[in-house]
Amino acid sequence: MRCAAIGLLALAAGCATVVAAPPAPELPSAAPAVTAAPAVTAAPAVIAPTAARPAPPAKAAREAAKPAPAPTLDVAALKERLRSTSACGVFTKLALKNQMDDLLQQFRAQHQSGGASGVSALRQPYDMLVLKVLAVVQDGDPSLARMISGSREAIWGILVDPVKFNALA
Give the residue, chosen from 29, 98, 105, 143, that forms a contact with other proteins under the rule CB under 8 A. Answer: 98
In the complex, the smallest distance separating the C-beta of residue 24 from other proteins, rounded to whole angstroms, is: 22
Is 155 a binding residue for other proteins by CB under 8 A? The answer is no
Instruction: Between 25 and 140, name the residue whose CB sits nearer to other proteins.
Output: 140
Using rule CB under 8 A, residue 21 touches other proteins: no
Nearest CB to other proteins, comparing residues 2 and 66: 2
Shortest separation between residue 120's beta carbon and other proteins, angstroms: 25
112 binds other proteins per the rule CB under 8 A: no
CB 71 within 8 A of CB 151: yes
Rounded to a whole number of angstroms, the minimum distance from the CB of residue 89 to other proteins is 3
Task: Note whether 94 binds other proteins by CB under 8 A.
Answer: yes
Cα atoms found within 13 Å of the Cα of residue 8, Cβ hemisphere only:
24
At its nearest, how many Å lie between other proteins and the CB of residue 116? 30
By CB under 8 A, residue 148 contacts other proteins: no
145 binds other proteins (CB under 8 A): no
Q: What is the 3-state secondary structure (H, E, C) of the chain?
A: CHHHHHHHHHHHHHHHHHHCCCHHHHHHHHHHHHHHHHHHHHHHHHCCCCCCCCHHHHHHHHHHHCCCCCCCCCHHHHHHHHHHCCCCCHHHHHHHHHHHHHHHHHHHHHHHHCCHHHHHCCHHHHHHHHHHHHHHHCCCCHHHHHHHHHCHHHHHHHHHCHHHHHHHC
Hey, which residues between 30 and 89 contact other proteins (CB under 8 A)? 88-89
Q: Which residues bind other proteins (CB under 8 A)?
A: 88-92, 94-96, 98-99, 132, 135-136
